[in-house]
Amino acid sequence: QSALTQPASVSGSPGQSITISCTGTTSDVGGYNYVSWYQQHPGKAPKLMIYEVSNRPSGVSDRFSGSKSGNTASLTISGLQAEDEADYYCSSYTSSSSVVFGGGTKLTVL
């Protein structure tokens, strides 16, 4: 199972919106609504931000939203804040009942 494809880095200024893409295949992202997004700050465990494509766990800011079109899922962060600067990973359930992660995207808040 190949890793999902994410951009290596994205950046934005405070207050702006950014979108991180996560591209897979019909055997993972395109075939199931089980895409999750995680935020990871240096030295910390990942934190779930979105599950099942577009659902936010309680306590996660509504500035974070998820969507999917075909084989590509997206995470949008609106109203960028300094504390959003982190690494972001997507994951998807697959047709072999396994999980595959994206390579990760480093978000820089300028």
Partner 1 sequence: QVQLVQSGAEVKKPGASVKVSCKASGYTFTGYYMHWVRQAPGQGLEWMGWINPNSGGTNSARKFQGWVTLTRDTSISTAYMELKRLRSDDTAVYYCARGGVGATTPRDYWGQGTLVTVSS
Q: Which of 7, 30, 31, 46 binds partner 1 (CB under 8 A)?
A: 46
Task: State the Cα–Cα distance between residues 83 and 98, nearest whole angstrom.
Answer: 32
Question: Considering the rule CB under 8 A, would residue 89 count as an interface residue with partner 1?
Answer: yes
Distance of CA 50 to the CA centre of its chain: 7
Q: Which of 29, 51, 64, 71 binds partner 1 (CB under 8 A)?
A: 51
Residue at 9: amino acid letter? S
Question: Considering the rule CB under 8 A, would residue 88 count as an interface residue with partner 1?
Answer: no
Six-digit token pair at 70?
Answer: 């075909």
Residue whose structure tokens are 């999980």: 99
Q: Which residues of the shown chain bind partner 1 in the complex (CB under 8 A)?
A: 1, 3, 34-36, 38, 40, 45-48, 51-52, 57, 87, 89, 91-93, 96-104
